[in-house]
Structure 1
Amino acid sequence: MSKELNLLDEVDLVLNPKKMLDARYLVYVVLSIVFVGVVLFPKIYIQQQIYFKSRDISKLKGEYDTLKEENILISTSVESIRFKNQIFDTIF
């Protein structure tokens, strides 16, 4: 029985060789992860910075439009007051 088991173990080793995970494999995996990180980090960082800048620009654009409308309203009000002043000055 033990001869048969030994023979089966040897056949198993030939048909399905055991793959050992050694330090070299670990180094390749770590280097691959570092390489992917180095390649992808700048892209992610730049996309994030573009997103935040565009958000700030959108906020400033909204404030600019609001101030522009307020300026138009105030200019209209000033013109109206100036016109009333000129009319009242000529009457009195």
Structure 2
Amino acid sequence: MKEKEEILKNIDGVIEDNKISFYIVRNIVIAIIFSLVLLLPKIYISNHIYLYSIKINKLLNEYYSLKAENSILKSKIEKLKFKNRLNNF
């Protein structure tokens, strides 16, 4: 009977040694919170930079298309002016 009690005590000691202590859990939670505090502003800023770059690319595409349309319209105006001058003579 004593052998069984000793074995049970040894098993209880091993189980208690393998438990995660409160301090380890606390330190892990603090480390996660600290890393989130450091990483969330970077994620926020990166996200805004990405959104602004999308807006800038959209505006640039519109600018280039309007610039091309402007040059086409200028050439059409020049053709009409030339045609008008020829008709006046």
CA 1:15 to 1:88, structure 2 compared with 1: closer, same or farther past 3 Å? closer
Q: Distance in 2 between matches of 1:84 and 1:41?
A: 64
Give the CA deviation at 1:14.
6.0
Within a 5 Å distance, the mapping from 1:1-92 to structure 2 comes to 1=1, 3-12=2-11, 13=13, 17-19=17-19, 21-22=21-22, 24-89=23-88, 91=89
1:35 and 1:70 map into 2 onto residues whose CA distance is 53
Per the TM alignment, residue 51 of structure 1 is displaced from its structure 2 partner at its CA by: 1.0
Q: Distance in 1 between matches of 2:56 and 2:64?
A: 12
The TM-score, its normalising length taken from structure 2, stands at: 0.81
Paired residue total: 88
Q: What TM-score do you get using the length of structure 1 for normalisation?
A: 0.78
Instruction: Give the gaps of 5 or more residues in structure 2.
Output: none
Instruction: Return 5+ residue gaps in structure 1 as ranges.
Output: none
Bigger mean CA offset, 75-84 vs 27-36:
27-36
* Cα shift at 1:27: 3.2
CA distance in 1, matches of 2:51, 2:20: 47
Alpha-carbon distance in structure 1 between the residues aligned to 2:69 and 2:5 = 93
- Alpha-carbon spacing, 1:56–1:14, altered in 2? closer, same or farther (3 Å): closer
Q: Percent identity between the aligned chains? A: 35
CA separation in 1, counterparts of 2:33 and 2:39? 10
